[in-house]
């Protein structure tokens, strides 16, 4: 969004291609973001307003780029657009979906709840248009939709489209996905009900999340009162992600604050290998250490087990500073899983080079194609947006050099 706005606001035409049904990436799924602890919706709203007002930006959601050919100054790109089944010509609201029984897993909330098959991805979704999950929709609900929604609002026969566009430069800002916590056998995700991941914690804390913003245990809905954070869950580990994801320490410190703000009795323990809060973020870390209900223990968690009755969790870990072998109980555990580039799985359809983990190798500098944000390396929002501004400038220079 940043790169698109930067280029469009100095007069260039931009096509923004987003594979989800809404803009905003992973950031719009956060409760608050560090260091200022403001909700992402603030900046997001400003950006969507700028996009709405700028006729030079065309947004395609549910869209991916399937082929890119040509060279700097004259690329051709094929964009595949999946059907939304909602035309956007009439506004819909929840009263029209109330009577539907077909549901789908809510991927926006990382699978922790369900939505109706006809749904708005989230409260602040841009574009503010419902989406229909055609596969989840029963025949009976298809009939109800035709009775309840305004004629022409839903088109059950909408087809996938492919369009071809000519562009002078391409910016790749395909971002990241969380490392799959189910691969960390010893840490119990999927086996122990009250072990969740850091991205799930963002949705638990958010008002639009599955619990309306209450940080509660998935097993019994009780307020989490004694929470452990396991840092480097899979990160800096040759068997999983050998690199540091750069944001997880700050992510957990931030989430420790969520827990403390929502329950003043709650205790938090952060198990870490090293705390990495670079630059001015160090201040945030020291402020958290002043809270006597927050403690940090240097040690890599070896094993998590669940009490079959209470669903409480036992962590086995060696405190490397005291050499004590700890065996401690918690009522909820958050795994700080790292950042995997989306390009580790789905490559950009052009001959780009990637590092061994699938991040786009920024040093190769193919003229006319520029990467930004977590597509290049794990980083925070501030770095991603600066990067995007830089990528937009590179793209503009590429076009200007050809005038
Ligand atoms: C637990 C956790 C908490 C965090 N909290 C903070 C925080 O508080 N503050 C902070 O500064 N940073 C935080 N971060 C980091 C932050 O999430 C990233 O800096 C940010 O998401 C990077 O933005 P991005 O645009 O590069 O990628 P993304 O946010 O991943 O956006 C990429 C976009 O590209 C789309 N896309 C992907 N592939 C395709 C494709 N093939 N075609 C079309 N579209 C595609 C995606 O759907 C998405 O919309 C946190 C990270 C974690 C793990």
Identify whether 35 is preceded by a cis peptide bond (ω within 30 of 0): yes
Q: In CATH terms, are 2-82+160-177+340-400 and 180-337 the same topology? A: yes
Write out the H or E segment, with its range, that includes residue 260. Answer: helix 248-262
User: Dihedral of CA 320/321/323/324: which sign?
Assistant: negative
CB-based contacts of 371, cutoff 8 Å, min separation 6: 171, 172, 173, 352, 360, 362, 391
d(CA 142, CA 133): 11
Closest CA to 173 of 395, 383, 402, 371: 371
Residue nearest to atom 3 of ligand 1 (CA): 251
Q: What is the pTM of this model?
A: 0.97
380 CA closest ligand 1 atom index: 19
Query: Looking at ligand 1, which atom is closest to the CA of residue 251?
Result: 3
268 membership: H or E segment, kind and range: strand 267-272
- From 16, 17, 24, 25, mutation site for ligand 1 pocket: most ligand atoms within 8 A of C-beta: 25
Spacing, Cα 19 to ligand 1 middle (Å): 13
Distance 272 CA to ligand 1 centre (A): 23
Residue owning the nearest CA to atom 39 of ligand 1: 174
| Residue 308 CB contacts under 8 Å (≥ 6 apart), including other chains | none
With beta carbons less than 8 A apart as the criterion, state whether 100 and 108 touch.
no
pLDDT of residue 171: 97
Instruction: Take atom 32 of ligand 1 and give the residue whose Cα is closest.
Output: 175
C-alpha–C-alpha distance, residues 98 and 211, integer Å: 19
Give the start-to-end residue ranges of the domains of the chain: 2-82+160-177+340-400, 94-148, 180-337
Superfamily (CATH H level) for 2-82+160-177+340-400: FAD/NAD(P)-binding domain (3.50.50.60)
> Which is the closest atom of ligand 1 to the Cα of 24?
49
What separation in Å is there between the alpha carbon of 85 and the centre of ligand 1?
26
Q: Which two tokens stand for residue 340?
A: 């995997």
User: How far is residue 232's CA from residue 248's CA, in Å, rounded to a whole number?
Assistant: 8
State how far the Cα of 21 lies from the Cα of 399, in Å rounded to an integer: 30
Close Cβ partners of 282 (under 8 Å, ≥ 6 residues apart) = none
Nearest residue by C-alpha to atom 8 in ligand 1: 33
Rounded Cα distance between 212 and 206, Å, is 7
266 CA → ligand 1 middle, Å: 29
d(CA 159, CA 84): 9
Do the beta carbons of residue 85 and residue 156 sit within 8 Å? yes
Place of tokens 């964009």: 79
What is the topology classification, in CATH, of domain 180-337? FAD/NAD(P)-binding domain (3.50.50)
Distance 27 CA to ligand 1 centre (A): 6
Please give the Cα distance from 178 to 89 (Å, whole number). Answer: 35
Residue 304 CA, ligand 1 centroid: distance in Å: 29
**Centre of ligand 1 from the C-alpha of residue 379, in Å:** 9
Alpha carbon distances (Å) from 389 to 5, 7, 251, 260, 396: 9, 8, 24, 36, 11
Distance 315 CA to ligand 1 centre (A): 30
Q: Give pLDDT < 70 ranges for the chain.
A: 364
CA distance 48 to 45: 5
pLDDT of 42 reads 86
Predicted local confidence at residue 362, as pLDDT: 77
- Nearest-CA residue for ligand 1 atom 38 is 174
Strand partners, 122: none
In this structure, the residues whose C-beta lies within 6 A of any atom of ligand 1 are: 17-20, 25-27, 30, 33-34, 64, 173-176, 198-199, 247, 251, 254, 339, 342, 346, 373-375, 379-382, 384
**What distance in angstroms lies between residue 20's CA and the mean position of ligand 1's atoms?**
12
- Ligand 1 midpoint to CA 218 (Å): 25
Residue 326: φ, ψ to 5°: -95, 145
Q: Whose CA is nearest to atom 7 of ligand 1?
A: 33
Question: What does the block give as tokens for 277?
Answer: 């809060």
């Amino acid at each position: 969004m940043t790169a698109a706005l930067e280029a469009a606001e100095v007069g260039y035409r931009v096509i923004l291609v987003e594979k989800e049904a809404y803009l905003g990436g992973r950031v719009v799924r956060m409760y608050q973001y560090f260091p200022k602890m403001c909700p992402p919706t603030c900046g997001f709203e400003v950006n969507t307003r700028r996009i709405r007002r700028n006729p030079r930006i065309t947004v395609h959601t549910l869209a991916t780029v399937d082929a890119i050919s040509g060279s700097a100054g004259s690329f051709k790109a094929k964009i595949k657009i999946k059907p939304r089944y909602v035309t956007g010509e009439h506004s819909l609201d929840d009263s029209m979906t109330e009577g539907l029984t077909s549901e789908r897993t809510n991927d926006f909330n990382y699978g922790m709840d369900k939505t109706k098959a006809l749904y708005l991805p989230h409260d602040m979704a841009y574009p503010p248009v419902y989406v229909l999950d055609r596969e989840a929709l029963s025949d009976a609900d298809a009939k109800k939709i035709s009775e309840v929604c305004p004629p022409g609002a839903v088109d059950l026969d909408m087809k996938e489209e492919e369009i071809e566009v000519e562009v002078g430069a391409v910016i790749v800002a395909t971002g990241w996905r969380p490392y799959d916590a189910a691969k960390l056998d010893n840490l119990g995700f999927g086996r122990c009900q009250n072990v969740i991941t850091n991205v799930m914690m963002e949705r638990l804390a958010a008002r639009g999340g599955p619990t309306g913003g209450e940080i509660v245990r998935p097993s019994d809905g009780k307020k989490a009162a004694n929470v452990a954070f396991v840092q480097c869950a899979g990160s800096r580990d040759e068997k999983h992600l050998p690199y540091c994801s750069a944001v997880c320490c700050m992510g957990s410190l931030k989430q420790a604050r969520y827990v403390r703000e929502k329950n003043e009795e709650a205790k938090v323990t952060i198990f870490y290998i090293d705390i990495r809060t670079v630059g001015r973020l160090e201040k945030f870390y020291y402020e958290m250490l002043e809270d006597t209900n927050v403690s940090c223990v240097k040690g890599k968690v070896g094993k998590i087990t669940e009490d079959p009755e209470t669903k409480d969790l036992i962590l086995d870990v060696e405190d490397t500073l005291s050499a004590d072998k700890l065996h401690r109980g918690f009522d909820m555990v958050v795994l700080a899983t790292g950042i995997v580039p989306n390009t580790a799985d789905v490559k950009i359809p052009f001959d780009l080079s990637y590092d061994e983990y699938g991040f786009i190798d920024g040093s190769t500098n193919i003229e006319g194609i520029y990467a930004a944000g977590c597509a290049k390396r794990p980083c925070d929002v501030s770095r991603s947006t600066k990067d995007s501004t830089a990528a937009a400038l590179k793209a503009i220079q590429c076009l200007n050099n050809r005038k």
